[in-house]
Amino acid sequence: MTSEVVENEFEFYSKAEKYWKDVPATVDGMLGGYGHISSIDINSSKKFLQRFLRDGPNRTGTTRALDCGAGIGRITKRLLLPLFKTVDMVDVTEDFLTKAKSYLGEEGRRVRNYFCCGLQDFSPEPNSYDVIWIQWVIGHLTDNHLADFLKRCRAGLRPNGIVVIKDNMAQEGVIMDDVDSSVCRDLDVVRKIIRRAGLHLLAEERQENFPDEIYHVYTFAMR
């Protein structure tokens, strides 16, 4: 539980904001020096996501997606814009969203909204999104804020829409990273929070071909 490792909630959030303000607005910056894994990450995410976009009675639509913790738009550019008509981006760091406007190029015209906001304070517009993509950012939310945010995401889905979390998973328990003021939870803790938010797990997959020295990364789809 984050309550065991986060002593001061205000400090937990403000320290993270300060950390990201000093990070370069580049793909390498977004990935903590692991920019070279970006293509492996995107290709796996695309395969995972496309199983829900294929034909069928419960097919997820491709009208609008939301990129949470979007940074400069690495995922928006390479995963979401190629698959969805429009995308919205939300990130706590204004400089990243400013950089996104040039980084995304021509296709960036299909980004409708750039929301500068921490996810603990953000509410997706109800009944609006086919896919809400949340990658490498849940560690910046306390358990309570994450559960509440996921509830708001659930309300933000269109019919057959899905919420996707892709993130690092600890081997056991909850580990605090004092450098960027984030936590890393184990699979059981994340699944519990998903259930607590009233979401039903549709698929879960471990990312392959990442460097051995980093945490295992898992992707979850839910609605």
Q: Is residue 186 a contact partner of residue 174, using CB atoms and an 8 Å limit?
A: yes
What are the residues whose beta carbons fall under 8 Å from the beta carbon of 55, sequence distance 6 or more? Answer: none
Q: What is the DSSP string of 152-185?
A: HHHHHEEEEEEEEEEEEEBSSSEEEETTTTEEEE
- Give the neighbor-by-neighbor strand order of the sheet with 111-116: 111-116, 86-91, 64-68, 129-135, 157-169, 216-222, 201-206
Q: Assess whether pLDDT exceeds 80 at residue 11.
A: yes
How confident is the model over 178-199, as a mean pLDDT? 98
Q: How confident is the model at residue 1 (pLDDT cuts 50, 70, 90)?
A: confident
Q: What percent of the chain is predicted at pLDDT more than 90?
A: 96
Is 109 a residue whose pLDDT tops 80? yes
Whether residue 92 is annotated as binding a ligand: the answer is yes
pLDDT of 185 higher than 90: yes
The percent of residues in the chain predicted with pLDDT above 70, rounded, is 100
Mean pLDDT of 8-28: 97
Question: Binding residue per annotation — 120?
Answer: yes
Q: pLDDT of 46-91, one tens digit each?
A: 999 999 998 788 899 999 999 999 999 999 999 999 999 999 999 9
**Does residue 135 have a known ligand-binding role?**
yes
CA atoms of 107 and 87, how far apart (whole Å) = 10
Is 93 assigned to a binding site?
A: yes
* pTM, rounded to two decimals: 0.97
Tell me the per-residue pLDDT of 130-162, one tens digit each, with 9 for 90 and over. 999 999 999 999 999 999 999 999 999 999 999
Contact predicate 171/120, CB 8 Å: no
Two tokens, residue 157 = 């889905």
CATH code matching the domain that covers 2-222, chosen among 3.30.930.10, 3.40.228.10, 3.30.1390.20, 3.40.50.150:
3.40.50.150
Rounded distance, CA 189 to CA 158, Å?
27
Residue ranges per structural domain of the chain: 2-222
Name the band, by pLDDT with cuts 50, 70 and 90, for residue 120. Answer: very high
pLDDT of residue 44: 98
Judge whether residue 172 has pLDDT over 80.
yes
